[in-house]
Amino acid sequence: MIYKKIKVEWEDITFYNGHKNITELDNLIIEKYSTIGYQIKKDKNFLIIALTLREDKQGFTDVYKFPIGCIKKIVYLKEMKVGTGIFTYKENCQDCKKLSLVDINGFCKDCYTEEEGGLKE
Q: Which residues bind Zn ion (CB under 5 A)?
A: 93, 95-96, 108, 111
Shortest CB 86 distance to Zn ion, Å: 15
Nearer to Zn ion among residue 49 and residue 93 (C-beta): 93
What value does the CA radius of gyration of the chain take, rounded to a whole number of Å?
A: 20
Residue 49 vs 111, nearer CB to Zn ion: 111
Nearest-approach distance from CB 105 to Zn ion, in angstroms: 11
In whole angstroms, the minimum distance from the beta carbon of 121 to Zn ion comes to 14
Residue closest to 30 by CA, chosen among 59, 45, 9: 9
Give dist(CA 114, CA 27) in Å, integer.
46
Rounded CA gap, 60 and 40, in Å? 9
Nearer to Zn ion, 28 or 104 (CB): 104
**CB contact at 8 A, 69 and 109:** no
